[in-house]
Each structure stands twice: as C-alpha cells, then as structure tokens.
Structure 1
C-alpha cells in the first residue's frame, strides 16, 4: 500500500487534520507534544502516517528523534508517494523552517510535497488573507488553506491529495534549495513577512491575557485557583451525576430482585452484582469530570502557561516545567503520563519525571479516596455550595501525592546514581494561541475515559466480587462470620486490629493489590452479604452505619 507522510511542527493542528482525513479519533490538544508516537490510518486506499511534531531536523527530544528517523527511512522507501507538510498559519515562520527542510529532503529523493496551511480560521478572524497561489509559486509546491477545526477547505484538500498521491496531477518540482540552516531561516523569515499576518496583530489579545496569567503574583494566584477548581470539581460538581447513577443502580436492583424472589441467585445478584460492581460504578462520573476539566485546560491553551509558571519551582526539585503536563496527566493514568514524559528534552529530567509519576494519585485511586472522604468527612459547604469540606480534603489527598513526588524528585536530582544522565538541554516551550475547546472531540474523550475505566477495571472487580461472594456465602448460606471468607478474615485480623480496622477491611485491602479500585467493590460485596440490603449502591451509608 502506498504511503502518505504527514509532518509538521508541534501544536499546529496536525493531529486534528489527520483525524479529519482518516475519520479516526486520535487525541488532540492545544499543547505541544501531544502526539508522542506514530499513528496510521486509511485515506482513500493510501496509508496516512502521522509522525510526532518536530521544530527542526536538528533534534532535541525523543519524539523528534523518532519523527526525523522515520522521515529519512520513509524517503528512501519506494512506497512513499507523498509528503504532506502541515503549516501553522498563525506561526508561519517557525512552520516554514521545518517545512523547507522537509522539502529539500523530499527533493533529494524525488518525492512530491504538498503544504497544508492549517488553522486558517484564525486568519479569517482577524481579516487577513494569505495568497496561497503566490506562496505556492514561491515554494514550488501546492499550498492549500485549510482549517481542520472548522473543516474549511478540507473537501478540496482531500480531492487534491487523491489526485497528487495517485499520480494523476503533476506537481512542479521546486528549485534545488540548499539545506543550510541559515539560508532556510532567511527564506522562512522573508516568506513569513510577505504572506503572514503581523505578529502584533496576531498576539495582541494573547499578550494582554498573558500579562495577567503569567504575572508572578496574579499568575501564581490564578494557577492555584485553577488547580483547586480542578480537584474541587471532582467531588463537588460530580455529585449530581453520582447521585443519578446511584439512584439508577438502586432502581434497577429493586426491579430485578422483585422478579426473582428469594434464593441463592437473588442473593448473588444483590450482593455481588449490585453490591460489588454497582458500588464501583457510582464513582465513574468523577473520572469523566477529571478528564473534562483537564481537556478544557489543554484546549484553551492554559496548560502550556501552567507549565511555564511551574518551571521555576519545579527546577528547584531537579525537573522542569515540561514535567508539569506528565504529572497532571498522571492523575488520570500513569501509563500515558510516562509516555508524555518523552517530550522532555533533558534525559536526566525525563528519567526523574518517569520514576516519580507513579507517586501521583491516578484515577484508580479516585473511587477509594472518594469513598473514604464520603464516610469520614462531613459534607459541610461554604460560599453558597461552591466549596465543600469534602472537596478540600480530597484536594489535600492529591496534594500529598504531589508533594511526595517532588520530594523524591529532589532526592533523585541530588543522587550520584544519575550522574550519567547530566542535563545540558534548555527549557523551551512554545506558548500556543488561546482557543475555544474542540467540543466534539472533547466530549468524545470524556465518554471514552468513562468507558475505558469500566472496561479495564470492571472485569477485575466482577471477578473479585464473585470470588468474595462465594467465599462469604458458603458453607453457611449467607452467614459471613462462619463462612470461608470469615475464617480467612479472622486469621489476618491481628494484622489490621492495631489500626482500628476489622477483618472485612483487611480482606478488601488484600484484594486491592489486584487493582486499587477493587477495594470499593470488595467492601460493597462484603457489606451486602452482611445484611445491609437496604442501602444497595450507597456503600458510604453502610460504612457510616
């Protein structure tokens, strides 16, 4: 299958363009370095390859190494039919620097090049038109003005790609361009001045907002408020959704049990299914709220500012502002957060960040925290219900994980064990334009986060709930104290008794070694077997009782 390569600088709308061309749903965000691996999709009989963003052929980060290595490999491959360079219309000069390098490389291998002038809707907002015909003539390759967000020019661009990649539309070869960096910089600067919008017009609103958000006093205060809002929303704003899920589970349980009557099957459905799995499902809305708020911060462009604000304090702990985004992502899941750390240029800081990411409180711990906070902390509210005491304690639990990770980072940065990973890389971060969120991909990402959490944790929790129910139900048909599980629990009881916990909590803690969120389902099953049938789905009330 013939291949089309899609390349460009980071945070230029490249991944969103890839989604529009292939119909896939790869993650996109208004932050450089979101695409840290190679993605492929089908486009009209061609394989479209989305490579990580790069600023130059002279690489600094691991993802740039991957991109340049793959580009060089693909250029020497006869199956590569076309190279598509994605240009950021709002950052034309920096986009052209990389694009001209790619054009010179493609010319050496006799490959066709097409330029996609993306984010053109931003130009239309300020009333600036770029003469794509003249720009195309000067570059010697076709230039198409598109907006992957508003779909402006996408249909025409697709038709042109089909014709060019299929060899039905000849492309004039550009004049041989020297790959010397200084000559490419000069030409990019000249073309950006001729065709691009003036920087003072493009950055007028951005600079005005940045003067407040990046100020050492107002910016720091705003950052703390945003982070407090993030964790407060997990508990406060997700409560109505959690109440709805809980009511729905209780209603379904009551209806199902009314059709079955008494017996072992009814006990299993009530205690294991609704008591165990149902208690876990109540906390899924909090995962979705966390994903929504982080997505809003990404798409708006604030996340890059937060990384810049955090650079100075984080540098004291031996890491950089680029570690902020992996740390924040770790509150959803540690695995993609560790992958996101690949965008950190310094090998030493990258390694320290990856080693300390698991200390953050990921979403698997969120149901456990939420359950314990709901049981032990009163739901006192302040400021008309905008702030709750439970949310404050919840924020404190997450803050403890962050502080722990920073302390370990400080120790690692001072350790001689990492002397071979000395950092000589500067902290470089391009601040993206402020933009409204891409609502459709964002909502899809929120829904997918809930589904993924259920699919990943649900089968484990169901299996554990079944095992606990069987051990807790037999041999006395529902007498938990005299069951096999009761025997095991009383055997380990001396370990947990000094902590003030009875054997049921000890069993749930042991089960949580399989997966953290199993703790909630295990307690739900245990308390269901123990006769707390009147609170199906409301595990917090059972524990308080």
Structure 2
C-alpha cells in the first residue's frame, strides 16, 4: 500500500485535515504538543501517516525528535510515494520555514512533495486571496488551498492525492538548495512578502483579547475564574445526566430481575452487575463534561495563553510554562499527558513534569470524588449563595493535587543542577489565532472519551465485582462478614483502621490499586450484597444512610488525590523515563504519602 507522509508546523490544522481525509476521529487541538505520536489511517487505497508538528528539522523538544527521526525512516521506505506538507495560511512565513527544509529533505530522498495551504476560510474572512498557481510555480511543487474546518477544497485534494502519478510532479532540482535554517528563513520571507496576508490584519482582533487575557492582573483573574468554572461545570452540568443514568439503571435492573426471580442469578445481577458495574457507569457523564470543557479550551487557542501566564509561577517550582499543558491534560488522563511532556525542551523539567503528572486528578478519580462528595456534602448547600459547595469541593480536590505536585516539583528541582541546564533556552511558545471549536470533532471526542473510559474500566470492574461477589456470597447462607471475603477483609482491616475505615473500604481500596475507578464498583458490590433484599438505590444514598464520618471521608478523598493507583500509568512512565525502579518507586512513594495524609486527616479533623 502506498504511503503519504503528512508533516507541518504545530497549529497548522494538520490533525483535523488528517481526520477529514481518513474519517478517523483523531484528537484535534489548537495548541502545540497534542500529536506526540505517529498516527496513521487509510484513505481509500492509500495509507496516510500524520507526524507530530515541528518547527524545524533541528529538533529542540522530544516530540520534534520523534517526528524527525520517524520522518527520515519513512522517507527511506520504498512504499512512501509522497510528502504532504501542510501550511498555515494565516502564518505562511512561519510555516514555510519548516516546509522548505522538508522539501529539501524529500528531494534528497528522491521523494515528491506537495503543499496544502490550510485556513483559507480565514483569509476569505479578511478579504485576502493569492495566486495558488504562482505559489506552486515558485515552490516547484503542487499547492492546494483548503479549509479543513469548512471542508472547502477537501474533495479536490483527496481526488488529486488518489489520482496523481506523483513521479510526474515538477522537478525540485530547479529550486535553490536550502542548506541551513537561515536559508529557509530568508526564502520564506521572500515568498511571504508575495503571498501572505498582512500580519497586522490577523493580529488586530487577537491583540485585543490578548491585552486582557495576558494582562498580569486581569489575565490571572480570568485564568482562575476559567479553571474554577471548569470544575464547577463537572457537577452542575453532569448532574441531570447522572440522575438519568441512575434511574435508567435501576429500572433496567428491576425489569431483568423481575423475569429471573429470586435466587443466585438474581443476586448476581443485582449485586455484581448493577451494584458493581452500574455504580461506576453513573459517573461517566462527568467524564464527558470534563472532556468537553477541556476541548473548548484547547480548540479556542486559550491553552497557549494559559501556559504563558503560568510560566513565571511554574518556574519558581522548577517547571516550564509548557508544563501547564501536560498538567491540564492530566486531568483527563495521565497517559497522554505524560507523552505530551515531550514538548518540554529541558530534559530536567520534562522529567519532573512527568513524575508529578500522576498527582493531577484524572477522570478515573472522578467517580470516587463524586461518590464521596455526594455523601459528605448535601446538594442544596451553596457558597456565597451562588456556587454549589459540591463543585467547590471538587475544585478544592483538584487544587490540592496541583499544589502537592508543585511542592514535590520544588523539592526535586532543588537537587544538583548541571552546568548545561543552567544555560537552558528561553521559554518560547506560539500564540495561535483564536478560533471557534470545530464542533463535530469535539463531539466525537466527548463521546469517545466515555466509550474509551468504559472499555478500559468496565472489564476490570466486572472481574473485580465478580471476584468480590463470589467470595462474599459463599459459603451459602453465611453473612457477608462470615463469608470468604469477610475473612480476608478482617485480616487486612488493621491496616485501614488508623484511617477510620472498616474492612469493606479496605477491600475496595486494595482492589483499586489496579485502577482507581474500581473502588466505586467494589464498594457498590459490597453494599449491594448487604442490601440484597432491599430496593435498588444509589450507592451514595446507601453509604449516607449508614453514615461516613467527615474526617474519615476527607482522609479518604486525600488518599485518592495522591495515590498512584494505575498500573497503565506506571507502565507509561517506565516507557518515557526508561527507568523501571524510578517508576515503581513513585508508585510506592505516592501510596505511602497518600496513607499518611489520610491518617493525619482522620486524627486531626
């Protein structure tokens, strides 16, 4: 199968174009460092390969190094038939710096190249146009004008890529050789002077917003307001959906058990299926809301501004402004966030960022937080009469995780610094244009986040629920405390007694060291078995009826903020850091720290 290599600078719309051509629901975001892995998809009978965005063939960051190394390897592949370089029409000069280097590299590998000028819709909005044929002649290669957002020119581009014999493209040997970055910069300026839109026209509206959002006072206030509303929305927007899921699950459970009747099968369906897996599914809408809001911030172009605002305070803790983007991504999932840390140029700051990303409250913690907050804080309590206290508590937990990460980062950064790291490059980040989100990919991303979360967590929760149910159900006619599970639980209970927790919570915590979200399913199975003869009700209501002391509940929340209970994250850290002992050492360190915090909260509060 023929291969087409897609390359370009960050923020040129390459990933969205890749999605439109292949039909894949790929993550698309308007900030540097999203596509840190090589992606591929099939366009009819051609394989399209999407490379991470890079500004130059001289790599500065880990993701650029990945892109350049893989690009050289793919250029040597006989199946590679074309290099497709994507240009940003609103920032043509910057795009051409890399494009000209890529063209030279393709020439050396005897591979044809074609260019795609994206964001043509924005040029039309400002009344600007240029001669595509003339630019094609000057570059010595075909040039196509498209809008990946509005689909303008996509059909024509796809037809050209599938129908052309790439070897008949104009010869590149007529072009002036690009032997250095300075040659590429000089040539890109010449071309931009002929074809690019006046930068002042593009920047006029952007500068108005930046004057506010990047202001040291108002920008900081706006940043904290946006972050606060982000976590408020997780509770307020998701609550109706969560209620609907809970009511639906209860109705389905009663309908199914009505046909089955009483007995072992009915108990298994109630306790293991709906008590375990069902209790976890109730909180999936919150993950969708979190993904949606973060997606809005990514697509709008705000995250680069947030990274700039955060650079100075993060520098105090030994981090970079670029650390903000992996940190925020870590609130969805730590695994892609750790990979996104490749965009940080400094090896030291990159390592510290990766080691502290697990302290960001990922979506797997959401079910745990939501359950315990619903138990500890009534739904009708408001702060200042405006903000729901459950949402405020949510923000507090996320904020505590960030503060803990910064404190540990500061400790790590105070160790010996090499002479090379004393002369690190200055912090530089591109400010992309403000854009409205592309709603179709954003909608796909929201749905996909829920689907992937369920696919990843549901099988583990089902197996754990099954094991707990079997151990708790037998010997037959024995109480839960006298069952096999009760015996195991009472054996480990002394470990959790200092935290104010009984054996049931001990079993749920122990099981959740595989993955945090297992806690809710395990606890749901245990409470379901205790109330097997009662009507199905929400897990939070069952715990609330029994009573959970405030100090114990706070300690349990702090435990889950800090504990690194995700084997997949440890494996990702091992792959990125390349140190098995360090990765598992973090697992143990965060576990002990979490236990200590839960103990202090239980004793002091």
Normalised TM-score (structure 2): 0.86
* Correspondence list, 1:146-161, <5 A: 146-161=146-161
Q: Distance in 2 between matches of 1:239 and 1:483?
A: 36
Map of 1:370 onto structure 2: 370
Residues 55-454 of structure 1 mapped to structure 2, 5 A cutoff: 55-167=55-167, 169-173=168-172, 175-179=174-178, 180-382=180-382, 387-416=387-416, 424-454=424-454
Deviation of residue 479 (structure 1)? 2.1
Contact 1:279 1:521 (8 Å CA) reproduced: yes
Question: CA–CA distance in 2 between the matches of 1:46 and 1:207?
Answer: 42
Give the Cα–Cα distance (whole angstroms) in 2 for the partners of residues 537 and 300 of structure 1: 41
* CA drift at 1:107: 2.7
Partner Cα separation in structure 2 for residue 350 and residue 145 of structure 1: 37
Distance verdict in 2 for CA 1:384–1:149, change over 3 Å? farther
- The alpha-carbon deviation at position 455 of structure 1 amounts to 1.1
Specify whether residues 533 and 76 from structure 1 end up closer, same or farther in structure 2 by C-alpha distance, changes over 3 A only: same
Instruction: Report the secondary structure of 1:48's partner residue.
Output: strand
How far off is 1:245 after superposition? Answer: 0.4
Between 1:4-13 and 1:41-50, the stretch displaced more is 41-50
Provide the rounded CA distance (Å) in 2 between the counterparts of 1:129 and 1:174.
28
Separation in structure 2 between the aligned mates of residue 84 and residue 316 of structure 1, nearest angstrom:
41
Q: Distance in 2 between matches of 1:408 and 1:18?
A: 39
> Given the superposition, is the C-alpha separation of residues 478 and 88 from structure 1 closer, same or farther in structure 2, using an over 3 Å criterion?
farther
CA distance in 2, matches of 1:480, 1:256: 24
Structure-2 residue corresponding to 1:508:
508
* Counterparts in 2 of 1:530 and 1:417: CA distance versus 1, 3 Å: farther
Deviation at 1:54, TM superposition (A): 1.2
Tell me by how many angstroms 1:533 deviates.
5.1
Structure 1 residues 46 and 201: CA distance shift in structure 2, 3 A: same
Say if 1:104 and 1:57 are closer, same or farther in 2 by CA, change over 3 A: same
User: Could you tell me whether the CA contact under 8 Å between 1:330 and 1:361 is conserved in 2?
Assistant: yes
Q: Secondary structure at the match of 2:523?
A: helix
Mean Cα deviation higher: 462-471 or 490-499 = 490-499
Cα-to-partner distance string for 1:383-411 (whole Å, 9 max, x where unaligned): 89862111111111111111011011111
Count of residues in correspondence between the two structures = 544
Per the TM alignment, residue 200 of structure 1 is displaced from its structure 2 partner at its CA by: 1.0
| 1:173 CA drift (Å) | 3.3
Residue matched to 2:565? none
The 3 A distance-change label for structure 1 pair 104 and 248 is same
2-structure distance, mates of 1:197, 1:225? 35
Q: Give the Cα–Cα distance (whole angstroms) in 2 for the partners of residues 99 and 498 of structure 1.
A: 62
Instruction: Note closer, same or farther for the CA distance 1:389–1:478 as it changes in structure 2 (3 Å cut).
Output: farther
Deviations along 1:202-245, one digit per CA (max 9) or x if unpaired, are 11111101111111111000000111011111122111110000
Instruction: Give the distance between the partners of 2:302 and 2:254, measured in 1 at CA.
Output: 46
Give 1:152 deviation, angstroms: 0.5
Provide structure 2 residue ranges, at least 5 long, that are not aligned to the other structure.
546-605
**1:25-84 Cα deviation digits (max 9, x unpaired):** 221111112111111222343322211111112221122122222333333444332111
8 Å Cα contact 1:93/1:191 also seen in 2: yes
User: Alignment partner of 1:47: what SS?
Assistant: strand
CA separation in 2, counterparts of 1:417 and 1:17? 42
| Counterparts of 1:250 and 1:118, CA distance in 2 | 50
CA distance in 2, matches of 1:217, 1:478: 64
Q: Is the 8 A contact 2:359 2:402 kept in 1?
A: yes
1:85-136 CA distances to partner (integer Å, 9 max, x unpaired)? 1110000000111111122222333332211001111111111112111111
Normalising by structure 1, we get a TM-score of 0.95
Offset of residue 3 of structure 1: 2.3
User: For residues 61 and 397 of structure 2, what CA distance do their matches in structure 1 show?
Assistant: 33
1:253-284 CA-to-partner distances (Å, cap 9, x unmatched) read 11112112211111111111111111111111
Counterpart residue number, 1:475: 475
Distance across 2 between alignment mates of 1:478 and 1:438: 57
Q: What is the RMSD of the two structures over their aligned residues, measured on CA atoms?
A: 1.9
Tell me the SS of whatever aligns to 1:4: strand
Instruction: Report SS of the residue matched to 2:41.
Output: strand
CA distance in 2, matches of 1:121, 1:464: 52
Distance 1:386 1:452, change over 3 A: farther
Rate the CA distance shift 1:80–1:300 in 2: closer, same or farther, 3 A. Answer: same
Counterpart Cα distance in 2 of 1:109 and 1:500:
67
Q: Which stretch has the larger CA shift, 417-426 or 21-30?
A: 417-426
1:369 to 1:193, Cα distance in 2 relative to 1, 3 A: same
Distance 1:370 1:419 in 2: 47
Counterpart residue number, 2:523: 523
Aligned-partner SS, 1:481: coil
Q: 1:420 offset after TM fit, Å?
A: 7.7
Matching residue of 2:25: 25
Aligned residue for 2:481, secondary structure, equals helix
